[in-house]
Amino acid sequence: MKKNNQNKIAIQLKKINKSYQKGSNNVVVHDNFNLSIAQGEFVALMGPSGLGKSTLLHLIGGLDLPTSGSVIIGEQRIDTLSEGKLSTWRAENIGFVFQSHHLLPVLTAQGNVELPLLLTPLDNKQRKQHASLALRLVGMEERAKHLPKELSGGQEQRVAIARAIVSDPKIILCDEPTGNLDRKTADEILSLLTTLNEDYGKTIVMVTHDLRASEYASRVINLEQYIVEGKQSQLSVVEGNS
């Protein structure tokens, strides 16, 4: 069962600046952005497109690095890790769930869920055992031998969630996980995420435009309001020289 870890910080973003060049323009996505998320929280990030919600997920998950500032997950500052150490850290600590399931069409549900474990020391038998357990947790054990094309959208997303949790990560990052699903199926997926949060203590950060989805979270952060309150300056495009 989930333990009360609300006093422990799972995610800290400190003075994050993130920008990139687009032609002659310097696009500022985040400017002196700060955020703390407690261990065991289920946080929904909301707001209009263009405010850098997905960028925040990529920074938290080590898929992208800040231009400056610190990304601290647990007690580990990840923005200073080498690429190899970051890949190992990510495989052990982060699970990703996207709007598009990104399942490999030539692999069965079992095979797709086993993929992240190829980066671990587990042998073939152990990988299969872990994948079977993950599929059972999301109610897809009986579909283990099915290819993605033989599954519904909701079933594919369940397999994607199983893949995200198969290495028992501390944090699950979800980018519009119900965006392609009908309401009933979306609610089933959100209920599953709630179970992972409440019963298994997973810290979940979910980007969503869906107000109904945000109701499942324990905390909702509207990035537009976050900006207005002065926690970071407005998204901006700064004219530059070519």
Tell me whether residue 192 is in a domain: yes
**d(Cα 84, Cα 86) in Å, to the nearest integer?**
5
Residue 229 is predicted with a pLDDT of: 57
Residue 160, CA distances (Å) to 29, 61, 79, 96 in order = 28, 16, 26, 8
Round the CA-based radius of gyration of the chain to a whole number and report it: 18
Q: How many alpha carbons fall within 13 Å on the CB side of residue 172?
A: 32
Q: What is the CATH number of the domain that holds 158?
A: 3.40.50.300
Look at residue 58 and tell me if it is in a domain.
yes
Asked whether residue 226 carries a pLDDT value surpassing 80, the answer given is no
Strands 219-222 and 9-22: unpaired
Q: Is residue 1 a part of any domain in this protein?
A: no
Residue pLDDT, tens place only, 159-190: 999 999 999 999 999 999 988 888 999 999 99
Residue 3 lies in a domain: no
Q: Which pair of tokens denotes residue 134?
A: 């993950």
pLDDT of residue 83: 92
* 228: amino acid identity, one letter: V
What is the rounded CA–CA span in Å between residue 116 and residue 45? 26
| pLDDT per residue as tens digits for the range 102-144 | 899 999 999 999 998 987 888 899 999 999 999 999 999 999 9
**Of the candidate ranges 47-56, 67-76, 192-201, the one whose mean pLDDT is the lowest:** 47-56
d(CA 22, CA 132): 45
User: H or E stretch including 128?
Assistant: helix 124-137
**Which pair of structure tokens corresponds to residue 171?**
């944090």
SS3 34: strand
Task: Give how many domains the chain has, as a whole number.
Answer: 1
Domain around 137: 9-239
Question: pLDDT band at 228, cuts 50/70/90?
Answer: low
Task: Count the neighbouring beta carbons within 10 Å of the beta carbon of residue 216.
Answer: 22
What are residue 94's DSSP bridge partners?
171
pTM of the entire predicted model: 0.86
Q: Is the pLDDT of residue 95 over 80?
A: yes
67: confidence class by pLDDT, cuts 50, 70, 90: very high
User: pLDDT tens, 187-196?
Assistant: 999 999 999 9
- pLDDT of 241 reads 38
Task: Assign 217 a pLDDT band (cuts: 50, 70, 90).
Answer: very high
Domain-embedded: residue 2: no
Residue in 138, 14, 135, 147 with CA at minimum distance from that of residue 70: 14
